[in-house]
Structure 1
Amino acid sequence: MQLITNYRLTRLALSVSCLASLGVTPAVAQSTDEANQSYPRLVEQNIKSKLSFISEGDRRLGLGSNGETKSNEAGLDIKPEWVWQLSPHWRSKLRLQAFGATGQVDVSDEIGGTTTTDGFLALREAWLDYNGLSDYPGESIRFGRERLKENSGMWWDDDITLTRWIFNTSLLDTTVGVAQKFAELRTDNNELQDEEQDIARFFAHTRWQWRKGHYLGFLVTHGQGYGDQAEEYALRGQTLDEGFTDSLTWTALQADRSYFDWHSHDTFQYFASVAAVNGTDTVVGTDPSAPNGFSDRERDVSGWAADLGARAQLLDTPRWVVGAHGAVASGGGEPGESDAFQQTSLESNRSRFTGTRSQVPRFGEAIQPEWSNIRVLTFYTALSDRDTWDANLLYHRYWLSDENGAVRSDLVEPGFTGSSDDLGQSVDLVLGYYGDSASTSWAAFDVRLRGGVFMPGDAYGEDADDARHRVVVDVSKRF
């Protein structure tokens, strides 16, 4: 097994090196014969560096039998990227990442897959784009590895290998494509999690500006599993909290008024999203009739979710807003059937939903639950000058949709008692200063503070800690 792991890591390192070497070639060609050659040419090159200080409370909330999991660590993140214009119609991008930390830290906002790590090298993006399909400058076809993202972060915000068609005009923004995760392309853990392997995906999203500043959107994602992970789990006598994707389809209708535009001067903005997931997955459980006591079985999935928010602007300069959100995702089910909504597994749940430039976790910094079997009421206020600085203060209140179910999180282990639907509450403070973005001075930096405190509710019982914190301070510089 160790030999296989070393081989895979070596193969990954060689692949990244080859891509980087290929990427440098156009720049060298340009420098040697720039006067006589227009293409290929390097049109953008930069290195994003970030020093982070991360402090976290106990992920087990004092309920774990193996002790506490508190941590205070520091991390350094470096992302070089290059963009080339290869010809009048061909464009390419390469983005790499090197990360190191003093201990195990969570990087779920940075990269998909296994989130706790103390360091890795990674290939983040490597794609080609062709825009010669028509005369529309915003139409192209793109293929390779890309950060697939939509505004809310609740559906897509992850690196994935894809082929997609892009059509972007002032009134209509549309993309349609196919995608699959083949590997994480990271040196610390290149293998996908078992439940993420062998899933082919189809995705489409369109957003239409039907009136100035008002948008209607439709999103669909289909995941088609073709592996035998569930059967292998059953043969080994292993179970999994989640199901293995068999055939699942997600659909969502969205409406908003420039809700994610932090430059907006609108006095009132709104966001509404209703969604459903339908299909089948495969679960592994105990089965007395099976030779080893375990078997896999198909399960019908039918869940729904909604997220409704509104924001009012009290002052224009500096911009001061207040807003509220209500989000719900179904839970529950019976043997052979699940009524719980589940996300696409490509989400980050981070976005600019407070009306500022800062990326803010939708459901709380210190707990970050998935949008499943949960009800959340959120109130927030934010102050900013739109470009250089902002301050965001948020309050979240949580309930379980089905108190017999669980809420999954990368940061907090469930530990529910099953006697209450009161999941708890949290408070977040997010501060951002963007000095580097508008300056070429070497002394200019971006600084961001993300701090949150989660206070467990009755669902965790009387023995749970009173609070859990997560504080991240980032100091960033682009070269």
Structure 2
Amino acid sequence: MQLMKNYRLTRFALSFSCLASVSAGPAMAQSTGDGEESQAYPRLIEQNVRSKLSLISEGDRRLGLGANGDAKSDEAGIDIKPEWVWQLSPHWRSKLLLQAFGATGQVDVSDEIGGTSTDGFFALREAWLDYNGLSDYPGESIRFGRERLKEDTGMWWDDDITLVRWIFDTSLLDTTVGVAQKLAELRTDNNELQDDEQDIGRIFANTRWQWRKGHYLGFLVTHGQGYGDQAEEYAARGLTPNDSFTDSLTWTAIQADRNYFDWHSHDAFQYFASVAAVNGTDTVVGEDPSAPSGFSDRERDVSGWAADLGARAQLLDTPRWVIGAHGAIASGGSGGGEPGDSDAFQQTSLESNRSSFTGTRSQVHRFGEAIQPEWSNLKVFTFYTALSDRDAWDANLLYHRYWLSDEMGTVRSDLVEPGFTGASDDLGQSVDLVLGYYGDSASTSWAAFDVRLRGGVFMPGDAYGDDADSSRHRVVVDLSKRF
């Protein structure tokens, strides 16, 4: 295991060294070229540094139920992201995005990097090449490298991953198809992937068709194929992981919307609808008296489904004032066709659940800032209202009500430990306030900054029992500047 860790760290260091050479190459070519043509390519077409100072306050993650005391914090963090984009030739383009993060203590960075607590790291976020000489369509290209793979909802893909994908983007049709795999986190604090994310090859595709002006139909598919032996290793060591291991799982979704994620829209009424399913097999580890370690791994069938329906009405156009509501459900439990099978919906593990679904520029967590649950074994009703001028500022107020689909099951969260009693499906409720001011976007002044507040309060329900705290908060204030 130590040998593997050293190998991964060495690979991480070599990646940084190679990328440093790549970043130096175009600049050197520009400065040393003698002819007019060498001056034209390669050329740096975008270069900036995004900096962010954050103040983060969180209530007890154990909701007062932990045996080791409270798990709450008040910390500060600083985040710096340098970015370069080069035009290498008429058809070749490249991007490099790095990150340096530091905090006064352990904080959660789930708004950007998949819910891991840290006090600092250096990271490679993106490094890719793009070739658009496949045809005469300006929106067609093939891209390979490490990229932030994201779709509008954030509930399927919003993660940094190594991939090769074909992109076709026109005014009526937006399509991508590719293969991907997480090779490492590429971070100095924790380079290794979590065990349940290792050794999974992925195939993905997404298409969105504008069948009528402002109205879209979409289809999304993701397949994950596991090829590792993590489950066997856990069983041999007599350990039971909290998660299952992907064997062969396929996610499909059909979506329809009317400009729902376009925060510049002037539509008086907008809608969003998504129906999804996951099918296949995964591997779990459980007790087995006949095994030498007392545990063994076994394959189980998975068949889950989920739906999310939302509508929004615009009451005023300038400033834009909207009200909206969503109803989301994800199946849960183990009531499959055979004993031990699962009919619980599970997400792709590439999601962030964060998007601009309130009709403003702000990226808001779909299921609540103070709890941030995964979309599994969950029923959620959401009501929101938002006010904005579309470009410079916005204000979002949201209310969420939660239930368990299966009261004997659980819900995973990066911020709140489960602690369910199994006596009720009442998970609780939460209120979020998200404010944004974007002074840096339209100004080159050194005095212009972006300011964002994301605050939430979660109030646990009967599923946590009578001894749980009455509320838990999470408040993040960001002050950002692009240089």
In which range does the TM-score fall when normalised by the shorter chain? over 0.9
The aligned amino acid for 2:425 is: D
Q: How does 1:129-140 map to 2 (within 5 A)?
A: 129-140=130-141
Matched, 1:27 2:31: no
For the structure 1 residues 287 and 2, does the alpha-carbon distance in structure 2 shift closer, same or farther, using more than 3 Å as the test? Answer: closer
Q: 1:4: how far off?
A: 6.5
Match for residue 98 of structure 1? 100
Q: How does 1:80-229 map to 2 (within 5 A)?
A: 80-112=82-114, 115-229=116-230
The aligned amino acid for 2:438 is: Y
Distance of 1:338 and 1:120 partners within structure 2: 37
Matched, 1:476 2:480: yes
Which one of the candidate residues 361, 370, 375 is aligned to 1:371?
375
Q: 1:15: how far off?
A: 2.2
Distance of 1:377 and 1:292 partners within structure 2: 44
Query: Which runs of no fewer than 5 residues in structure 1 stay unpaired?
Result: none
Q: 1:14: how far off?
A: 4.0
Q: 1:292: how far off?
A: 1.7
Distance of 1:377 and 1:240 partners within structure 2: 31
Matched, 1:460 2:464: yes
> Normalized against structure 1, the TM-score is what?
0.98
The aligned amino acid for 1:55 is: S
Distance of 1:314 and 1:31 partners within structure 2: 56
Q: 1:293: how far off?
A: 1.0
Match for residue 39 of structure 1? 41
Q: Deviations over 1:190-240 (max 9, x none)?
A: 000000000000000000000000000000000000011001100000112
Distance of 1:5 and 1:191 partners within structure 2: 7
Q: What secondary structure sits across from 2:474 in the alignment?
A: strand
Contact 1:127/1:145, CA 8 A, preserved across alignment: yes
Distance of 1:328 and 1:150 partners within structure 2: 20
Count of equivalent residues? 478
Contact 1:75/1:102, CA 8 A, preserved across alignment: yes
Matched, 1:423 2:427: yes
Q: 1:34: how far off?
A: 7.8
Query: Which runs of no fewer than 5 residues in structure 2 stay unpaired?
Result: none
Contact 2:318/2:389, CA 8 A, preserved across alignment: yes
Q: Deviations over 1:117-159 (max 9, x none)?
A: 0000000000000000000000000000000000000000000
Match for residue 16 of structure 1? 16
Contact 2:8/2:184, CA 8 A, preserved across alignment: no
Q: What secondary structure sits across from 1:100 in the alignment?
A: strand
Contact 1:13/1:187, CA 8 A, preserved across alignment: no
Match for residue 395 of structure 1? 399
Distance of 2:277 and 2:248 partners within structure 1: 14
Match for residue 290 of structure 2? 289
Q: What secondary structure sits across from 2:235 in the alignment?
A: helix
Distance of 1:189 and 1:2 partners within structure 2: 14
Larger mean CA deviation between 328-337 and 86-95 belongs to 328-337
Match for residue 310 of structure 2? 309
Match for residue 59 of structure 2? 57
Contact 1:330/1:339, CA 8 A, preserved across alignment: yes
Q: How does 1:331-370 map to 2 (within 5 A)?
A: 331-334=332-335, 335-370=339-374
Contact 1:300/1:337, CA 8 A, preserved across alignment: yes
Distance of 1:213 and 1:196 partners within structure 2: 37
Moved over 6 A (4+): 1-4
Q: 1:242: how far off?
A: 1.7
Q: 1:108: how far off?
A: 1.2
The aligned amino acid for 1:313 is: Q
The aligned amino acid for 1:441 is: S
Contact 2:382/2:398, CA 8 A, preserved across alignment: yes
Distance of 1:342 and 1:2 partners within structure 2: 31
Q: What secondary structure sits across from 1:333 in the alignment?
A: coil
Q: What secondary structure sits across from 1:279 in the alignment?
A: strand
Distance of 1:278 and 1:116 partners within structure 2: 31
Contact 2:53/2:78, CA 8 A, preserved across alignment: yes
Q: How does 1:260-271 map to 2 (within 5 A)?
A: 260-271=261-272
Q: 1:30: how far off?
A: 1.4
Distance of 1:341 and 1:18 partners within structure 2: 40
Larger mean CA deviation between 19-28 and 461-470 belongs to 19-28
Distance of 1:268 and 1:363 partners within structure 2: 22
For the structure 1 residues 5 and 298, does the alpha-carbon distance in structure 2 shift closer, same or farther, using more than 3 Å as the test? Answer: closer
Match for residue 256 of structure 1? 257
Q: What secondary structure sits across from 2:15 in the alignment?
A: helix
Q: Deviations over 1:287-320 (max 9, x none)?
A: 1121221000011000000000000000000000
Q: 1:2: how far off?
A: 6.6
Q: Deviations over 1:381-404 (max 9, x none)?
A: 000000000000000000000000
Distance of 1:463 and 1:293 partners within structure 2: 34
Q: 1:6: how far off?
A: 5.9
Q: 1:11: how far off?
A: 4.3
The percent of aligned pairs where both chains have the same amino acid is 86
Q: Deviations over 1:66-122 (max 9, x none)?
A: 11111000000000010011111011001000000000000011123x610000000
Distance of 1:394 and 1:34 partners within structure 2: 59
RMSD of the alignment, in Å?
1.3
The aligned amino acid for 2:208 is: R
